[in-house]
Every structure is written in C-alpha cells, then in structure tokens.
Structure 1
Amino acid sequence: MNRIISIVLATALLIVGAAFLPSCSDSDAPADLKVGVIHIGDPGAGAGYSYAHDQGIIEMQKNLGLKDSQIIRKNNIADDDAAATKTAIEECIEAGCKIIFGTSWGYMETMAALAEQYPDIIFSHATGYMSNDTNFNNYFGRIYQARYLAGIAAGLKTKTNKIGYVAAMGIDNSEVTSGLNAFAKGIAAVNPDAVVYVKVTNTWFSVDLESQAAEALLDLGCDVIGQHCDTTAPQLAAEKRGVWGCGYNSDMTPEAPKAHLTAPIWNWGVYYTAAVKAVVDGTWESFGNYFGGLKEGFVDISPLSENCEPGTQEIIDQVKQLIIDGEFEVFDGKQIKVDGTNVTIVDEDLTDNQGNVIVAAGGPCLDDATITGGINWYYKNVIEG
C-alpha cells in the first residue's frame, strides 16, 4: 500500500481546491449517515496498519456520535485486486454510504473511476496522489517527523552501533526512503557512530518476509530493529533474540514487551473526524486534500517503554517541541546535537551515503514535493543490506 504523496498533495498542509458538492440535506443527519471503510488487512489483528486506521474510525464515531451500524467495514481487500476493490466499494454504496475511505495505495485508480461514476458519493483515499475538484481527495501525513524521534530512541539504545530497518519498498519509493532517512538522521543526532542496515521486502504486508528480513538484520549484529512494514513480525523477531525494536503504525509494546522502545504512530481519528464532520455540516466543498504532522497531532510516537535508555524522554520532548515550533525541520541543513539531556541545533550538511550534499549546512528544508516524491537516496549512515 504505497503511501507516496504526490507533488500535488505535498504543496500544502491542507489544500483547498474542491468545487461544489451538494450540501447534506436534513435526511443526511448523523443518525442516517453511513460511512464506508476499505481495509487491506484485518483491524482485529490488534496492531499494525489496518488496526491503526480502524482506531481512527472508532475515534471519529465517538466524536460525532455515530453508531456501529453506521460504519460499513470491508476488511482484507487486497489493494492489487481491482475487481475485489470495486466490489467492496460498490457494496458500501449499496449500503447507503455517503463517504467511503480507502486506506491503501492500490485502491486509488478504482476509487478515482468510481468517483466519476458516483458523483454524489465522496471518496477519500489514503496515501495516493489522485484527486478531483469535487468528490475525491487524498490524505496522508508527515510521519517522517515521528520517525526522527523514534531514531533518537534507537540511537540511544543500541550497544553494537548496528541498527536494522525492515523496509517494505526500496530506494525508489520516496515515502519509505524519506521515513528511513528521518529515522537514520535521528539516530545520528545522538549516536554518530551508529549505522543503519536496511533490508527490503518489496511488499507492504507479509509476516514471513518481514520475519526473514528481521532475522537477516539480527544476524548482522543489529540490536535494534526499526520497520516500515505492516505487521509486528520484526518486533517479535527482536524480542526472540533478546534485543530491541521500534515498530510502526501502532504501539507494539503489548506484542513485544521486552523489546519494543516506541513506534511512529498515526492519529487517523484527527482526519476521519474532520472529514466526516465536513460531510455532515455540508462543508466538504472547502475541505480538499490533507497532509498533517506533529503540530496537528496527526502523527506522533507511542509512549516510550521502560526499555528505553534513561534521558530518552527528556531529549525527545525537547526535539518534538522544536519541530512543532518550526525551529527544526528534519530535511534541512541543520542537525540536533545532544549533551547529556541538553539539546541544541547546529548547522550541518544533509548528506547521502554516496557523499553527495543534498542540503548545505544552514540551508532550507526540502519542500514537501521533494520529501514525498523525490527522496531517492539514503542518508549518510545507511547501508543497503
């Protein structure tokens, strides 16, 4: 489920460009509204990508007072199966859904086509780049900010100075690569001697392949395992070996209590509440595409576990606030330096692992379009496994 955001999406935090949709009528009051959700996995798994999305849907229900009967879920819909995707969406439409959320990249083109076919239904797609000016938008966030914070926890924890990373996609995928680079830069901020080994699975969701990649990284001597993939398998592998890890999408401490440090996580409820409220209020025409971050509370890290090194919380709290305040940006020509638990910002080249300077010391942050669609290089401390 490639979560790349296009140049079109990345040009603003909240893009307003939709033309006029019919306003919700009296019959579309909350008691009558139905919301469709298409999941690539099973939210009942209790952790991971689909679970995180569904927690956001549940939060939206509570915020807006919707009943369970008003949410139509379609689970385990493979995003590379256009026919299954079309069937699931049309079943939501037949059930009376006014807005349908597709949570995986591969749903994009099917949703775009159906948006033309059903102009009175709103289609909202996570991660992609396609949208129109009426009833089809996309949404994602600055998860790389949270990955930088997780990198700090990993860099402080490692004893071998070897950190592994299970990546769903390779260097050509900017979403994955920007996240890996942010994680690696966070590590370098607190541990410039550490290196990050990456193994690519070429799939978003595979317990077997994620386990195999994690095991290979552990065999290299990595004692912290990060991930950009959808299952808990890398964290379980770390726990089995007696080392540590940083999960993704949801707090994976319950699954790997002796290993897990923290995880970059989403608060999808921020978006789902705003989107459904716009439908209820009849204000969707001014809603547009969405790209939120730490400042909006859309992304964060899960609570640090007791496995983290002393002082980690104090350091991360300071860096998080610097990002929220706009004083530090992950992909600019600056870096965090730590002395004990004191945090400062210094000018430093943003450099790839081939020695190329991406941003000169003191230079401005890469723009959103580049971050989400043009990072096809690895940070200086990353080694391809």
Structure 2
Amino acid sequence: MYKNLAAAFAAACGLLLSSPDIHAQVAPPLKIGFVHVAPVTEAGWVRQHEDGRLAVQQALGDRVRTTAVDNVPEGADAERVIRELASSGHQLIFTPSFGYMEPTLKVAKDFPGVKFESITGYKTAPNVATANARYYEGRYLAGIAAGRLTKSNVTGYVAGFPIPEVLQGLNAFALGLRSVNPNAVVKVVWLNAWFDPPKEREAAMALFNQEVDVIAFHTASTAVMAAAQERGRLAIAYHSDMRRTAPDAQALAVLHLWGDYYTQRARAVLDGSWKSGQVWGGVKEGMVRVDHFGPKVPKAVRDEVLARQQDIAAGRLRPFVGPITDNEGRLVVPAGQAMSDEQILGMKFLVSGVQGKAAQ
C-alpha cells in the first residue's frame, strides 16, 4: 500500500515539475519612455502627452512600465535624455516635439533594437516612426467660432515658431474665421518659443491693446487664457480644456488626444507587429476634437461648429480648398482645388486676413 502511495506521489511530483506552467517565465514589462519639452502642468501640450502615457499604463497594466522625463529643451539636452532612456532598457521611446526629430534619429542609429516615435517629426528610419495630428482641422473650427463671436472684427494669435505646423493652424483659423465673417482679421505675434509664460502673457496683453477681443495661441502654457480672463476677452484653449484657468474667457477648446495612438503602438511592440511609418490623423481618427464650450458661446454658434466638425469627419469639408490668396495678394490655391498633404506639410505662406509675416 505504502509502496503504491509513494509511487503515486512521485508520479504526481514528476507531472508538476514537468508542467510548462511551473517553468514558464513571465515576460518582463515593456519599458516605454516619454520625453516632454516643458514641465507637466494642468493643461497644454505636455499635459496631453502625459495623459497619453497614463492611458497606456492604464490600458496595458503590468505589461508595460512607463517613464517620463519633462522640461527637456530641444537640442543637446534632448539627445542626452533620449540616449539615457535607450541605454537603460527602454524599448519604445516617444519624443513629442518637433525639435526632437534630429536627436531622435541620431540616437536611433546607435540603438537599432529600440523603437522610436517622433511625434510632429517628418523623417523616418527603420526603427523611427512619425506621427502627427491635423491640428489645423480644429483650428478651422475654432476660427468659425471666433468669426461669430468677435465684435471688433480683430482677432489675435500668439504663435511659437513659424514652422509649417504652426502656419497650418494659423491659416486654418483665419480661413474658418473669414468663412463666416469676411471682414475679420488676425493679428499675430511670434514668440520663437514653445513655453514661456511671461512672454505668452505679454504678447496676449499687447494684442488686447490692439482691439483684439478673441485670441488663439500655439504655445504650451495657460498664460494666454489667464490674460484673457483678466481682461474680459475670449480665448480659444489649445491642446487641453482650460476652463479651470479661464472659466469665463474660454470660448472652446481644441483638444489633442494621444492615448489611443500611444496604446496601439505599445501593443504593436508587445505583439511584434510594430513597423516604421507615418501617421497623420485628425478629427476623423479621433486625434483632434473641439469641445468644452464656454458660457459666453450661444447655442447656435456651438451647434454650427459641431456640425462643421461632423462635416470634416465625413470628408465633406476640407479647410484648404481654393480659392486661397496669401496676405500679399497672390493666388496660392485656385478655385475648386484642394491642397495636397505634401503641400500642406510644406506650407510657407500666410493667407489673406492674417497681418504679419511667415518668417521672423
């Protein structure tokens, strides 16, 4: 009897020891790095990318481990941080700022086994993909709202750098504005900085002193919103909902949503399907949306803007369809023609109605 029990016990132990579940190795989490160009604040460009990181962590749980390094200037510091992330075992690195493109490519050459995502960049490599959003679609919609809301017919725009992405947004805003209010104009101030709250505030105040009653911006802080709240003007929030900063001043927010894209790319690395490529998504793809209308926006204006947003999603409305004239009087897009993606990506002019120059 005891011999039989001993034999049975030995057999059971043999089965347990040979079980694949006992010897299976749990895969280590995918280490994902994020490099932020400014501090993480409650709203703005960096906030949206930080929310994207948190969305990845929530969606994929223990399968990933994410790291974020914020307030990293473009240039040598960016290369150093990206290289440190790659050297410390991060297998997927997101670099969401235009000035990170070249440092990303440089580091990627030295780490061919690491996947990189250059957000707002346009140069790819076998292990470097690019992604951007059609921010200009949201800008066009915001312009429609501004055209309906302005009483002075003078709107303002605080802009970072005169690169194509910024020119696209500024021009789309002006086209949306003048599609409903042909007499309205846009006054622009260039900062040559993405994140400089004192300069952003100063630029906004200067524009308010020039009859501007609705303002938009392409910078990374909430300073313009705070200035509009202080001066009793209206402002278009950018990147994030900024009603906490400007509860009365916010007309609407142009939102950038990165969580789904970041999660998809992390899943692709996990399942081995990641490939380099270029993504440029907008309203249709859920990467851009206008929302969070403020208390001073009439229902008719809100309904009009949301209807046009549906038109863009369905392909019925394209912001850059001619005739389009630049602000020096030259016809740049003939009537009935639409700018190609290549032409939009290389944009170098300012449309009629924008007061200023494309290069500073």
TM-score normalised per structure 2? 0.88
CA pair 55-27 structure 1, distance change in 2 beyond 3 A: farther
Q: Which residue identity is paired with 1:52?
A: Q
Residues 1:145 and 2:118 aligned together: no
TM-score normalised per structure 1? 0.83
Separation in 2 of the partners of 1:28 and 1:275? 21
Point out the structure with max Rg over C-alpha: 2
Q: Secondary structure at the match of 1:140?
A: strand
Tell me the equivalent position of 1:6: none
Tell me the equivalent position of 2:35: 38
- Give the alignment partner of residue 60 of structure 1, picking from 56, 59, 62: 56
Q: Which protein is richer in helix relative to its size? A: 2
Q: Secondary structure at the match of 1:50?
A: helix
Tell me the equivalent position of 2:105: 112
Separation in 2 of the partners of 1:281 and 1:97? 16
Deviation at 1:361, TM superposition (A): 2.1
Q: 8 Å contact 1:28–1:280 — kept in the other structure?
A: no
- Give the alignment partner of residue 371 of structure 1, picking from 344, 349, 360: 344
Tell me the equivalent position of 1:159: 151
Tell me the equivalent position of 1:210: 200
- Give the alignment partner of residue 71 of structure 2, picking from 73, 76, 96: 76
Residues 1:266 and 2:238 aligned together: no
Q: 8 Å contact 1:141–1:291 — kept in the other structure?
A: yes
Q: 8 Å contact 1:167–1:227 — kept in the other structure?
A: yes
CA pair 75-143 structure 1, distance change in 2 beyond 3 A: same
Q: 8 Å contact 2:248–2:294 — kept in the other structure?
A: no
1:75-224 pair list within 5 angstroms:
75-80=70-75, 82=76, 84-132=77-125, 134-170=126-162, 173-224=163-214
Q: Secondary structure at the match of 1:216?
A: helix
Which runs of no fewer than 5 residues in structure 1 stay unpaired? Answer: 1-25, 334-348
Q: Percent identity?
A: 37
Separation in 2 of the partners of 1:27 and 1:161? 66
Separation in 2 of the partners of 1:27 and 1:48? 41
Residues 1:380 and 2:352 aligned together: yes
Q: Deviations over 1:303-345 (max 9, x none)?
A: 2122213312211122111111111210012xxxxxxxxxxxx
Q: Secondary structure at the match of 1:198?
A: strand
Q: Which residue identity is paired with 2:293?
A: L
Deviation at 1:360, TM superposition (A): 2.1
Q: Which residue identity is paired with 2:89?
A: G
Which range moved further: 225-234 or 90-99? 90-99
1:229-378 pair list within 5 angstroms:
229-285=219-275, 288-333=277-322, 349-363=323-337, 365-373=338-346, 375-378=347-350
Separation in 1 of the partners of 2:113 and 2:155? 49
Q: 8 Å contact 1:253–1:261 — kept in the other structure?
A: no
| Runs of 4+, deviation exceeding 4 Å | 26-29
Separation in 1 of the partners of 2:260 and 2:178? 31
Q: Secondary structure at the match of 2:30?
A: coil
Q: Deviations over 1:168-221 (max 9, x none)?
A: 123xx2111111010111111222221111111111111121111111100001
Q: 8 Å contact 1:154–1:187 — kept in the other structure?
A: yes
Q: 8 Å contact 1:174–1:376 — kept in the other structure?
A: yes
Deviation at 1:72, TM superposition (A): 1.1
CA pair 27-53 structure 1, distance change in 2 beyond 3 A: farther
Provide the aligned length of Structure 1 versus Structure 2: 334
Separation in 2 of the partners of 1:256 and 1:52? 18
